[in-house]
Homo-oligomer: A and B are copies of this chain.
Amino acid sequence: MTIRGKPTSLDIAHLAGVSQPTVSRALRGSPMVNEETRKRILAIAEQLNYKVDKNASGLRRQHAGTLALLLFEDPTPDESHINPFFFPMLGSITRACARHGQDLLISFQQFSDDWHAEYGDSHKADGLILLGYGDYLAHQGKLTKLVEQGTPFVRWGAVMPDQPGLSIGCDNVGGGRQAGEHLGALGRRQVAFLGDASNHYPEFLDRFAGCDAGLRSAGGTGLDRALQVDAESAEDSGFAAATALLERGLPFDAVFAASDLIAIGAMHALQARGLRIPEDVAIVGFDDIPAARIATPALTTVVQDTIRAGELLVEALVRLVNCEPAESTRLETTLVVRRSSGALP
């Protein structure tokens, strides 16, 4: 027997000699279907390669079975320069969605767009995952609007007390402390910090504070604001920040960069001036992107568990969508010691 086009639940019903609603029940695993009937129906569905129509099901049930991942780019949208830090997380998120039976829509957004209107409505997605570095204060208003609209969402970023919505993030203070203690233990005392350490970038600010504490606990005097230069998470920005730092003419024997991209850009700038790494300047980064391992010297850096982060983001969002309780989580970091910090021969 042949069916024109994709088979429907009604086709299955005819073949199984039952009504169409019974097919629907059997397929959704309702407990009130005769075991034998269910088996017959499942067999036929399998054989016809039947798949429930997502539109019809979604329309009737008023939900999409789909989550949306919005990836924000920093200011320069020069064609697809996404922070490589997010890639493993993306992989983890797609897998976690699959495990939860959710489809995943992906969209790259500019910070300026009014994406908060685009999703939420229209039943494209039941909830949003927000990824991306960027100015937190500029972001906050939109997050608040999402909460008002009742759109379920989770974001990757700093976990703070009274922020709108749920966040999964790493322990940025703890990570900064690991970097600071490491550099302090190696005898570095004049540590420069490259990154925008303000409440616009709470993650960077936490890393700054953590490093400061770590240096002190190792017997030093902590971070000096005179050795801090703003930078966004990009190689160019790191290069420019290190250059600006050198021009200040103040002595420093180490650099803690708020991200690996900044660190790698800074290394280029320092090396171009003839400074040796780690002999003259020790470097520690944050993120452990693939390039960290390949840089010369290889970069000591703070690792965030991006795989686990992706899983937690999806789990938390699925809970929100199902109106179950969910909470923000802060993940532990670990320090990977490589040659750039001077601890290895």
Interface residues of A (CB under 8 A from B): 6, 49-56, 58-59, 64, 66, 69, 79-82, 84, 87-88, 90-92, 94-95, 98, 103-108, 117-118, 121-124, 264, 290-291, 294-296, 307
Contacts and interface: CB of A to CB of B under 8 A. Distances in A.
Contacts of A90: 80
A103 B124 contact: yes
A82 B92 contact: no
Given A59-B56, A107-B94, A84 B87 contact: yes
A52 B104 CA distance: 20
A289 B105 CA distance: 25
B117 A107 contact: no
Nearest to A267: B294
Contacts of A91: 79-82, 108
Contacts of A121: 6, 49-51
24 contacts: A6-B122, A6-B123, A50-B121, A52-B122, A53-B59, A53-B122, A54-B58, A54-B64, A54-B123, A54-B124, A55-B55, A55-B64, A59-B59, A69-B106, A79-B91, A79-B307, A80-B88, A80-B307, A95-B108, A103-B105, A105-B106, A290-B290, A291-B291, A294-B295
Contacts of A6: 121-123
Given A49-B117, A55-B55, A294-B264, A94 B122 contact: no
Contacts of A82: 87, 91
The 7 closest A-B pairs by CB, nearest first: A80-B91, A51-B122, A55-B59, A296-B296, A55-B58, A51-B121, A80-B88
Contacts of A123: 6, 53-55
Nearest to A264: B294
Given A54-B123, A103-B105, A290-B291, A87 B94 contact: no
A98 B110 CA distance: 12
A264 B291 CA distance: 11
